[in-house]
A and B are shown apart, each in its own frame.
Chain A
Amino acid sequence: MRNAQKTIIIVMVLAATIAAGCKKKPVATPQPAPTVEAPPDTTPPPAPPQRVEETAPVPQPRLPEDAIANRSLDDLNRDSPLKPVFFGLDSAELDDAGRGVATANADVLKKYASWAITIEGHCDERGTAEYNLALGERRALAVKTYLSSLGIPPDRMRTVSYGKEFPFDVAHTEDAWSRNRRGHFVITAK
């Protein structure tokens, strides 16, 4: 009897594993020839986002247009043309630098009008887990509202707050915290 139950549980856990495995079906997109990218299996992990200062120029797309259009979602998000927007401590307001980045992102979204995105609100680790859910929600919604004011249709944008669950930089420093207080853009459809 116990063995039978174990078997049932094992089968179901396997089912769950298979189900989850099915979910992430890697999209095999043919890579355009003239890029200088390393082969996919040696792609380095993403560089941590840099705090964008007020004087920062509008980020330039680093790849030719057709390369962006042809890349898979995974590849796009790994080195995204949509840059994160950073926030001050306990703040959900976009400052000048944040508005500059958001505006550049809006330009990209206008160029690729089929893209849908999720805006993730993230926080540094100093507040509690629960308070940061609300703060991250306000950050994500603030970015969405701003992009909407620039003409991006709201139905292309979803928001989610991860609070302090997923810091970009796990160090316990002011520098890390400033990088973790962010609105992060994920392209979910193209």
Chain B
Amino acid sequence: MHTHLTTWRVAFLTVVLVAAAIFVLPSAPRAARPQQPPQQPSELALVISGDPGTPPRYAVPDFVGLTPDVGDVAKTIGQVLWDDLAFEREFYLIPRDTYGSVPAARTPEQIPFASWRELGADAVVFGTVQRTGNDVRIQVRLFNVRTRQSVFSKEYSGAVANPRLYAHTISDEIHDQQRGLKGVARTKLAFASDRNGVPLGGTVENRQVKEIYIADYDGANQRRLTVSRQLNVNPSWSPDTRSLAYTTYRPIPDIFVSFIYQGVLQNPTKGSGTNYLPVFSPDGKQIAFMSGRDGNPEIYVMNADGSNVRRLTNHPAGDSTPTWSPSGAQIAFTSDRTGKPQIYVMGADGSNLRRLDIKQSEADRPTWSPAPFNEIAFAGRTGGGFDIIVYEMSTGKTTPLTFGEGSNESPAYSPGGRHVAFTSTRSGGRTQIFTMGRDGKGLRQITRDGNNQTPAWSN
């Protein structure tokens, strides 16, 4: 028993230190975000439009390396920026392999606007990368091809370690300026994975550990967060993106909160039976979760520090997977009180319980969209597997987003609600994370290694 406890302490400390090393030292995503000097006063902060009824057509060539050793960085930024801008589907991105006919420019004055116009571009991005000591300086402008005027101009300087982050930042700022849209290029996905193939301790059966991983929204920079060598599943981001709550088996399932930048691990449900499926409230002050502490799986809410636990449901069936409404005033969850899982909604104090009128025989894992949308995505039984289906709260209308390609589960909205991450077995039978637009279009596969499940999308 003594050995056991000591082992946990070492493992805990290791989690903390590794988290600190990964997230604080080399490239803390927030802290090392490129410095942004105040925007140059622009007399023409104009929105570039396309032909009537069509989205503006953007060209994003490679950035130009002004010093000899930044060619790769310049190329990466151009490619990632193209992908980021394409992801939101606000613009039409002219394919990069058609840019060969356009002469390269090394200065804004050399931009061949006539050639870009021939290619059908309404907008062209021009960017440069220059090494300055240990850092790089990146300048970027967005030009209206018709008027040849710069409508967006930014400069960043900082470490060269993660060039993709500059592209993500530029993408978010272009979406903000051109569309008034909060882009998701700097958001992250957390999920559980068995990719390391580490066997779980014990001799009962062939079991593997699952650890929590974090990736950029596009699947780049996949990194392991937990090192507990246990089953770790169901991560949930705090709204400030500073911490993740998740279910961890030690070996009894319990809720841990990992403050990923500080390297602190908390156990708000310590010593209170089995606890699963934590999910932060929209203001980050509370966590809803499932617990069997009173002899049956029920929905509970506690303050994020573990205080003030309230039980919200009381039914001999199983109540699970709570999700908060955008305002935090309501909670939806799954219950099999009719014999099959269905989705219910109640006030955040447990009042006004009602069942959503959903025609699928089984409906599970509701995820309430953020504002401005007011809809619940869930996994609905369709034949042998599940599909991601959206229930619109105001009309009760349901719309499928997937159509029987593999089994599709665990929907998670992006901030802003324009995209959905989910798991699917469509790619060779293993469970992988995908993202798509809230209309089901624009599918992207995020993971390919091992089995990956229960995605959560950060703000």
Instruction: List residues of chain A with CB under 8 Å of any chain B CB.
Output: 2, 5, 8-9, 12-13, 15-16, 18-20, 22-25, 45-46, 74, 77-78, 90, 92, 118, 126-131, 133-135, 137-138, 140-141, 145, 158-162, 165-166, 168, 184, 186
Beta-carbon contact of A161 and B253 below 8 Å: yes
A138 with B297: in contact, given A23-B4, A23-B201, A186-B204 (CB under 8 Å)? yes
In the bound complex, CA of A8 to CA of B454 (Å): 30
Q: Are A131 and B364 in contact (CB under 8 A)?
A: yes
The smallest beta-carbon distance between A28 and chain B, in angstroms, is 15
Secondary structure of the A contact surface, majority rule: helix
Q: Is B184 an interface residue (CB 8 A)?
A: no
Known: A128-B410, A138-B318. A8 touches B297 (CB 8 A): no
Contact, CB under 8 Å: A78 / B229: no
One of B7, B410, B454 near A22 (C-beta < 8 A):
B7
The distance in angstroms between the C-alpha atoms of A25 and B220, with both chains bound, is 38
* Set B204, B253, B362, B384: member contacting A127, Cβ < 8 A: B362
- Listed from nearest, the 4 A-B pairs whose CB atoms lie closest are A134-B318, A134-B320, A19-B10, A16-B14
Q: A12 touching B364 by the CB < 8 A rule? A: no
Residues of chain B within 8 A of A134, CB atoms compared = 290, 297, 318-321, 334, 336
For window 24-77 of chain B, which residues contact chain A by CB distance below 8 Å? Answer: 25-26
Inter-subunit contact B274/A129 (CB<8 Å): no
- Interface size class for chain B? 35 or more
Q: B residues engaging A (CB < 8 A)?
A: 3-4, 6-7, 10-11, 13-14, 17-18, 21-22, 25-26, 201-207, 210, 227, 229, 231, 233-234, 249, 251-253, 274, 276-277, 290, 292, 295-297, 318-321, 334, 336, 339-341, 362, 364-365, 379, 384, 386, 409-410, 453-454
Given A90-B340, A141-B296, are A129 and B410 neighbors across the interface (CB < 8 Å)? yes
Contact of A130 among B234, B295, B384 (CB under 8 A): B234
In angstroms, Cα B205 to Cα A74, docked, is 11
Interfacial chain B residues near A137, Cβ < 8 Å: 274, 276, 290, 292, 296-297, 318
Whether the Cβ atoms of A127 and B3 lie closer than 8 Å is no
Question: Which of B205, B274, B276, B321 touches A166 (beta carbons < 8 Å)?
Answer: B205
B318 near A130 (CB under 8 angstroms)? no
Assess the B11–A129 pair: CB atoms within 8 A: no
The residue of chain B having its C-beta at the shortest distance from the C-beta of A19 within the complex is B10
Which single residue of chain A is at the shortest CB-CB distance from B378? A128
C-alpha spacing A5/B297, complex, angstroms: 44
A135 contacts which of B204, B227, B336 (Cβ < 8 Å)? B336
**Could you say which residues of chain A place their CB within 8 Å of the CB of B276?**
133, 137, 161
Q: Decide if B339 touches A20 in the complex (CB within 8 Å).
A: no
- Contact A161 B234, beta carbon cutoff 8 Å: no
Is there an interface contact between A16 and B11, defined as CB atoms closer than 8 Å?
yes
Shortest Cβ distance from residue B204 to the other chain A in the assembled complex, whole angstroms: 5
Query: Can you name 5 extra interface pairs (CB under 8 A) apart from A13-B227, A15-B14, A134-B319?
Result: A22-B7, A130-B334, A130-B410, A134-B321, A137-B276
Taking a contact as CB atoms closer than 8 A, the residue among B7, B26, B203, B206 that contacts A78 in the complex is B203
A133 to B379, CA, bound (A): 15
Please tell me if the beta carbons of A160 and B252 are within 8 angstroms of each other in the complex.
Answer: yes
| A5 contacts B18, C-beta separation under 8 Å | no
When distances are taken between beta carbons in the complex, the residues of chain A under 8 Å from B321 are: 130-131, 134
The one of A18, A131, A138 in contact with B365, judged by C-beta atoms closer than 8 angstroms, is A131
User: Which residues from B are CB-within-8-Å of A145?
Assistant: 295
Q: In the bound complex, how far is the Cα of B295 from the Cα of A141, in angstroms? A: 7
21 A-B residue pairs with Cβ-Cβ distance under 8 Å, sorted by A, are A8-B17, A12-B17, A13-B14, A13-B227, A16-B14, A18-B10, A22-B3, A22-B7, A126-B384, A127-B364, A128-B364, A128-B410, A129-B454, A130-B454, A131-B321, A137-B292, A137-B318, A159-B274, A161-B253, A161-B297, A184-B204
